């Protein structure tokens, strides 16, 4: 099925560990985004990539790095996880010209203990 | 200042009744887009409806309609004939800038409204 695929769906990390969240889309979209969602809050933008080869910081980039590996894939890396990074992470993509919104992955629930 | 404000943390509605979820926004752009998403308890983000700032007609998608009042900077979601399956979190979001740009403009979300439909 066409869409945005995120892996893993669940992850528990110890403080200080590192990990990479993977995201891939098969809709040939130019733009991809990483958001985090904390309880009682909306989604906040961490990083985005307007096109292959470019990345930009969003509202809450501290503690994260990203890589736009190719047009399909956009990964989010936590170098040294902290309990404050416990959240649900969503990847999304868009082609910029459509009006029907952005396509979201199913999310990764990350717990840092 | 918050760009998207949803002032109703929670709402209750009786099955088969209509409900309005409020959303106000703040932008200095002339061209922008407003979106509503539904997030059920399973967690996925489901696109519901879109309204462009230059669209003259209010957007409608089945039982969903968007009451767009540009001068008041409000974009309220109206759900008609509520169903039990409508119980979920609802998020209003905005993309600033022209829809034909490179997609550089990410969505900004409000804090959401939890809707509970009662039988």
CB contact under 8 A, B111 and A42: yes
From the list B80, B89, B60, the residue with the least C-alpha distance to B18 is B80
Chain A contacts of B110, Cβ < 8 Å? 42
Q: pLDDT 10s per residue in chain B (119 long)?
A: 679 999 999 999 999 999 999 999 999 888 888 999 999 999 999 999 999 998 889 999 999 999 999 999 999 999 999 999 999 999 999 988 765 555 457 899 999 999 999 99
Average pLDDT, chain A: 92
Nearest chain A residue to B37, by CA = A101
Q: Which two tokens stand for residue A68?
A: 């736009």
Chain B contacts of A48, Cβ < 8 Å? 104, 106
- At residue A98, the pLDDT reads 52
Cβ-count burial A51-76 (b if 16+ within 10 Å, e if not) = beeebeebebbeebebebeebbbbbb
- At residue B100, the pLDDT reads 56
Average pLDDT over residues A11-32: 95
CB contact under 8 A, A31 and B103: yes
Q: How far from B23 is each of B18, B73, B114, CA to CA, in Å?
A: 16, 9, 13
From the list A5, A6, A46, A40, the residue with the least C-alpha distance to A26 is A5
Alpha-carbon distance B18 to B40, whole Å?
Answer: 19
Contact B105, B3 (CB under 8 A): no
Q: Which two tokens stand for residue A26?
A: 């098969």
CA distance A18 to chain B (A): 25
Residue numbers of A between 33 and 92 with CB closer than 8 Å to B: 33, 35, 40-45, 48, 50-51, 56, 58, 88, 90, 92
CB contact under 8 A, B104 and A107: no
- At residue A30, the pLDDT reads 87
- At residue B111, the pLDDT reads 95
For Cα atoms B54, A94, A55, give the angle at the middle one, nearest 5 degrees.
115
Chain A contacts of B91, Cβ < 8 Å? 42-43
- What's the per-residue H, E or C state across chain B? CCCEECCCCEEEEECCCCEEECCEECCCCCCEEEEEEEECCCCCCEEEEEEECCCCCCCEECCEEEEEECCCCEEEEEECCCCHHHCEEEEEEEEECCCCCCCCCCCEECCCEEEEEEC
- At residue B67, the pLDDT reads 97
- At residue B29, the pLDDT reads 86
- At residue B34, the pLDDT reads 93
Which of A78-87, A95-104, B48-57 is predicted with the least confidence, judged by mean pLDDT?
A: A95-104
Q: Which two tokens stand for residue A8?
A: 């893993």
Q: Which residues pair with B61 in a beta bridge?
A: B64
Average pLDDT over residues A35-59: 91
Residue with tokens 């409508």: B86
Calculate what percentage of chain A has a pLDDT beyond 70.
Answer: 94
By CB atoms closer than 10 A (0-12, 13-18, 19+), residue A1 is exposed
Residue A99: pLDDT above 90? no
Please tell me which of the candidates A40, A42, A94 has its beta carbon nearest to residue B91.
A42
């Amino acid at each position: 099925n066409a869409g945005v695929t995120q892996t893993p769906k669940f992850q528990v990390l110890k403080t200080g560990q590192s990990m990479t969240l993977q995201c891939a889309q098969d809709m040939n979209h130019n733009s991809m985004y990483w958001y985090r969602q904390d309880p009682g809050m909306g989604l906040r933008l961490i990083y985005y990539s307007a096109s292959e080869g470019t990345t930009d910081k969003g509202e809450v980039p501290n503690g994260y790095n990203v890589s736009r590996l190719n047009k399909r894939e956009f990964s989010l890396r936590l170098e040294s996880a902290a309990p404050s990074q416990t959240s649900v992470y969503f990847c999304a993509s868009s082609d910029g010209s459509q009006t029907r919104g952005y396509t979201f992955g199913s999310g990764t629930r990350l717990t840092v203990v | 200042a918050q760009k998207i404000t949803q002032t109703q943390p929670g709402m209750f509605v009786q099955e088969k009744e209509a409900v309005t979820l409020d959303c106000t926004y703040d932008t200095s752009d002339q061209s922008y887009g407003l979106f509503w998403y539904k997030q059920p308890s399973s967690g996925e983000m489901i696109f519901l409806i879109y309204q462009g700032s230059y669209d003259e007609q209010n957007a409608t998608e089945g039982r969903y309609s968007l009451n767009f009042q540009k001068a008041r900077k409000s974009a309220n979601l109206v759900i008609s004939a509520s169903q039990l399956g409508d119980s979920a979190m609802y998020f209003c979001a905005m993309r600033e800038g022209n829809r034909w740009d490179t997609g550089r403009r990410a969505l900004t979300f409000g804090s959401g409204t939890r809707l509970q439909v009662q039988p």
